[in-house]
């Protein structure tokens, strides 16, 4: 008597039937496949094959959107929290300090509630935002119980291990598989508290339009995707910037010219003390201050629907009037 086929087998077979017979998953198929993964009903062999077939093929916007909704339909219920801005931090920094943390503090000081989620440790030699929060004494939520007492008026880091531990386990498979998985991409678009503004950065070429398209399929109110420094949502002021917008399903692109015409110098050592010194006015850092104000301007442009010039003026004023005793 033949064994009954496992329900996940269909998805592996769809991706792996060869050059002429394999195809992309539909959005609904991606949704159903991720539901099975979240339920823990997929065999390790199936999961490994599925992840690597997707890695070789590369994901589509429909697949990314389906993975997101599949996760959202199966993770443990989240408390009802009002959030203004969803900010994903999954890449880590290796060439420049994580100036985006100061931007998150400025947004909190302006009264904007943020969900800052991400992970750490999957790529050697990088400084992750979660570690920076711990070093600076900013809250890192350690459990789902912490979500019930979290004051969203202050910046706090929500680890993926708390939000969706199944996905954290898959991301950490990079040490075993030697390659990134689709989770590295779609986790950035999870938007767990349905914030009206989603800020997302991608480093690798070609993925910006992919994530822009996925955000449109997901119907998020406003999503801004950029090529951020190191893959984090942080502007490099030495480079032109293309903004990939998705607003209620409609996509568009705009380009901002570089702030500085010279090239940025790579830091040999990433010393978090320098972040504090610049915040407190004890040190001047041309690159850092521009990275902060320009990144803040992007966030304000997206959330407040400002022009780039209006957003830049407001960002610079916010920086000059910051509460230096906050950190």
DSSP string covering 16-62: HS-TTT--PPPHHHHHHHHHHHHHT-S-HHHHHHHHHHHHHH---HH
Residue 196's pLDDT is 98
Evaluate whether 188 touches 115 at the Cβ level (below 8 Å). no
pLDDT at 249 over 80: yes
pLDDT at 2 over 60: no
Measured CA to CA in angstroms, residue 289 lies from 166, 179, 244, 259, 324 at distances of 37, 34, 24, 12, 14
Comparing 326 with 292, which gets the higher pLDDT? 292
The model's pLDDT over 107-154, given as tens digits with 9 standing for 90+, comes to: 999 999 999 999 987 677 889 999 999 999 999 999 999 999 998 888
pLDDT at 73 over 60: yes
CA distance 85 to 277: 27
Query: Could you tell me the pLDDT band of residue 4, with boundaries at 50, 70 and 90?
Result: confident
Evaluate whether 183 touches 169 at the Cβ level (below 8 Å). no
Mean pLDDT of 20-45: 96
Domains of the chain by residue range = 9-72, 85-320
Q: Among 50-54, 152-156, 238-242, which stretch is predicted with the lowest mean pLDDT?
A: 152-156
Compute the chain's Rg from CA coordinates.
Answer: 20
- What sign does the CA torsion over 209, 210, 216, 220 have? negative
What's the distance, CA 177 to chain centroid?
A: 22
Q: Which residues pair with 159 in a beta bridge?
A: 118
The model's pLDDT over 222-234, given as tens digits with 9 standing for 90+, comes to: 999 999 999 999 9
Query: Could you tell me the pLDDT band of residue 204, with boundaries at 50, 70 and 90?
Result: confident
Residue 269's pLDDT is 86
pLDDT at 314 over 60: yes
Residue 179's pLDDT is 82
Q: How high does pLDDT run on average in the chain?
A: 94
Mean pLDDT of 202-210: 88
CA distance 225 to 209: 8
| Local structure of 133: helix, strand or coil | helix
Which CATH architecture does the domain made up of 85-320 adopt? 3-Layer(aba) Sandwich (3.40)
Measured CA to CA in angstroms, residue 168 lies from 108, 117, 164, 205 at distances of 27, 12, 7, 24
Select 9-72's CATH number: 3.30.30.60, 1.20.970.10, 3.40.50.880, 1.20.1260.10: 1.20.970.10
Query: Could you tell me the pLDDT band of residue 155, with boundaries at 50, 70 and 90?
Result: very high
Query: Could you tell me the pLDDT band of residue 37, with boundaries at 50, 70 and 90?
Result: very high
pLDDT at 1 over 60: no
Query: Could you tell me the pLDDT band of residue 178, with boundaries at 50, 70 and 90?
Result: confident
Instruction: State the pTM of this model.
Output: 0.95
Comparing 177 with 238, which gets the higher pLDDT? 238
Residue 152's pLDDT is 87
Strands of the 197-201 sheet, one edge to the other: 157-159, 114-118, 85-89, 197-201, 222-226, 241-247, 250-256
Q: What percent of the chain has pLDDT over 90?
A: 82
Mean pLDDT of 266-282: 92
Residue 326's pLDDT is 84
Question: What is the number of other CB atoms lying within 10 angstroms of the CB of residue 107?
Answer: 23
Question: What is the number of other CB atoms lying within 10 angstroms of the CB of residue 4?
Answer: 6
Q: What percent of the chain has pLDDT over 70?
A: 99
pLDDT at 209 over 70: yes
């Amino acid at each position: 008597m033949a064994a009954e086929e496992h329900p996940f087998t269909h998805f592996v077979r769809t991706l792996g039937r060869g050059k002429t017979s394999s195809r992309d998953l539909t959005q609904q198929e991606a949704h159903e496949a991720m539901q099975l993964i979240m339920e823990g009903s997929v065999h390790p062999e199936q999961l490994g094959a599925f992840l690597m077939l997707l890695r070789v093929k590369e994901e589509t916007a429909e697949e990314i959107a389906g993975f997101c909704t599949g996760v959202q339909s199966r993770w443990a219920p989240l408390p009802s929290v009002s959030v203004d801005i969803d900010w994903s931090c999954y890449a880590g920094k290796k060439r420049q300090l994580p100036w985006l943390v100061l931007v998150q503090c400025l947004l909190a000081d302006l009264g904007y509630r943020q969900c800052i989620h991400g992970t750490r440790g999957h790529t050697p030699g990088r400084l992750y935002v979660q570690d920076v929060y711990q070093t600076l004494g900013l809250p890192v939520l350690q459990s789902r119980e912490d979500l019930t007492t979290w004051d969203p008026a202050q910046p706090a880091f929500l680890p993926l291990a708390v939000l969706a531990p199944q996905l954290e386990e898959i991301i950490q498979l990079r040490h075993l598989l030697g390659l990134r998985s689709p989770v590295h991409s779609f986790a950035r678009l999870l938007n767990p508290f349905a914030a009206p503004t989603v800020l997302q950065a991608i480093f690798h070429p070609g993925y910006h339009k992919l994530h822009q398209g996925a955000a449109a399929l997901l119907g998020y109110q406003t999503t801004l995707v950029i090529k951020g420094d190191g893959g984090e949502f942080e502007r490099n002021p030495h480079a032109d910037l293309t903004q990939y917008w998705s607003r209620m399903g409609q996509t568009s692109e705009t380009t901002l010219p570089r702030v500085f015409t010279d090239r940025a110098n790579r830091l040999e050592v990433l010393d978090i003390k320098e972040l504090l010194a610049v915040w407190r006015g004890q040190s001047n850092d041309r690159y850092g201050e521009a990275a902060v104000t320009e990144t803040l301007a992007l966030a304000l442009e997206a959330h407040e629907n400002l022009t780039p010039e209006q957003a830049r003026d407001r960002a610079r004023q916010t920086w000059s009037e910051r509460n230096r005793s906050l950190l």
